[in-house]
Amino acid sequence: MRRRDLIAAGTAVALSAPVIAATPALASAPKKEEGAEPADKTVSIRAVGLPVIVEGRIRNYVFVNLKLHLAPEPKVEDIQNKEAFFRDALVRTGHGAPFTLPDDWNKLSDNKINAALMAIAEVVVPHAIIKAEVTNQIPRRRVSGPVIETVPDPYLTPDGSDGSADGVASTL
């Protein structure tokens, strides 16, 4: 595996994540014949630490457990041997184009992670992964999300009016 290909995959994911997320993941999956029920081959990737980046600062880390659903052809052992490449590319992508949700710093966007994994899989093991899914997310620490602070207007009463009977504030 060439490092240049992994970096190119991360860049491609960062630039095309909205397009990939809009595409159904199972569109290129082979059709199953009726009566034949193949075993579901999966590979689990445990505890990948991904950053929560807001305004250029790392606010938290979320450890994500992933499951890759394989096509019928590849062997599970071959994909397990490539797990380090998936981890590396996913972490690099997470730092370049964060998977952060705008209102929650304790969780990441499942759709963005799945889209990134599918793009990475096409570089690491072409046509071997049918579907990627996030099975669990555990934040490193619980942090409160973005808080918008408002400064009360000293000229308004607690009910929001300006205190005058006609609604027009008197100026003296």
Look at residue 68 in the predicted model and tell me its pLDDT: 94
Residue 3 tokens, joined: 């490092």
pLDDT by residue, tens only, the chain of 172 residues:
566 665 665 655 555 555 444 444 444 445 555 544 456 899 999 999 999 998 889 999 999 999 999 999 899 999 999 999 999 999 999 999 999 998 888 999 999 999 999 999 999 999 999 999 999 999 998 887 666 555 566 666 666 565 555 555 555 5
Triad 30, 35, 39: Cα angle to 5°: 60
Q: Which residue has the tokens 């999966």?
A: 42
Structural domains of the chain, ranges and CATH numbers in brackets: 3-22+41-139 (3.30.479)
**Cα–Cα distance for residue pair 21/17, rounded to 1 Å:** 6
**Cα–Cα distance for residue pair 137/18, rounded to 1 Å:** 22
**Cα–Cα distance for residue pair 123/38, rounded to 1 Å:** 25
